[in-house]
Chains A and B, each alone.
Chain A
């Protein structure tokens, strides 16, 4: 939220043009919001650039505040998407899940740079749940994806037996040659290398795994 005096939108240049509310709104919308102090400095620079040598005609005061969005329940997350997947031990179930996730990730162009890594991580978790979860016949995995202006979060909730993939997954030694390399135990390395935070809880008979990965706003490929 930006609260400001009219010295900003009514800053004139040598041609008598105001900086204007619309121009200021476009500037704010196009600028990264991760550092409000820097944003404020850039706003003043933009006004100075517009005004040039024209003397300031009114006081210029600007207050910028980061507010959580209503849809995020007060946590700063922009959007939350949820999906429920029935676990069936049959070919294609992993691809079906990944196709859903890929479509949801593609809806957020700002995270295009980390889309492939999120899919990798999601596949590892989902496959682990299938293999080790000892799921009931009608078991469902609940998956949620949340995106904020600097971070993504994938959360998996399953009703299988207690299993913390961060501790209990087989972990192989990396970097061994073809003869010595263990064939399994690679997945957990990908989980920890490709995400910034991992958190596991066992609650109400469910495994809950939360994975967070940050991204740089404005760095997505065209």
Chain B
């Protein structure tokens, strides 16, 4: 019931991928919050929480994500989730958590979103 967090930052694309591996629960949430705040503080356009290897999330973990989503949104940036497992999806659904957060079912959807973001930047 541990959590490993890996962060990959692409400054050029103003993108961070935060991979969660294991369980996000009451004990692991504080450490994850610290890492996530460090990433959010970079002021990147998009931060993606990659949940491909996330096996468990409790309300404690969701609270950390809620807080980060508020901070990111108030800065005019976006927080998204990707590759959620079905039982993780279920927790989000039950709690109707963050209906305005972008959710990518897989990396292809995320890449398409990034491409469209790049097009918008070029066009502006």
* A and B are interacting partners: yes
Given that A95-B27, A120-B91, A177-B100 are contacting pairs, would A187 and B59 also be in contact in the complex, using a CB cutoff of 8 Å? Answer: yes
B70 touches A178 (CB 8 A): yes
**Contacts between the two chains (Cβ within 8 Å), count:** 79
B66 touches A178 (CB 8 A): yes
Near A by CB (< 8 A), chain B positions 67-119 give 67, 69-70, 72-74, 79, 87, 91, 94-101
Q: How extensive is the interface on chain B, given as a class?
A: 20 to 34
Given that A116-B87, A190-B59 are contacting pairs, would A95 and B28 also be in contact in the complex, using a CB cutoff of 8 Å? Answer: yes
Q: How extensive is the interface on chain A, given as a class?
A: 20 to 34
A181 touches B66 (CB 8 A): yes
Of B27, B30, B56, which contacts A119 at CB under 8 A?
B56
Q: Is B25 an interface residue (CB 8 A)?
A: yes
B66 touches A98 (CB 8 A): no
Q: Is the interface of A mostly helix, strand, loop or mixed?
A: helix
| A/B interface sample: 29 pairs, CB < 8 A | A91-B27, A94-B27, A95-B25, A95-B26, A102-B1, A117-B87, A119-B56, A120-B58, A123-B58, A123-B60, A124-B58, A124-B59, A127-B26, A127-B58, A174-B95, A175-B99, A177-B100, A178-B69, A178-B70, A178-B72, A178-B101, A179-B70, A181-B70, A181-B97, A181-B98, A183-B66, A189-B95, A190-B59, A194-B94
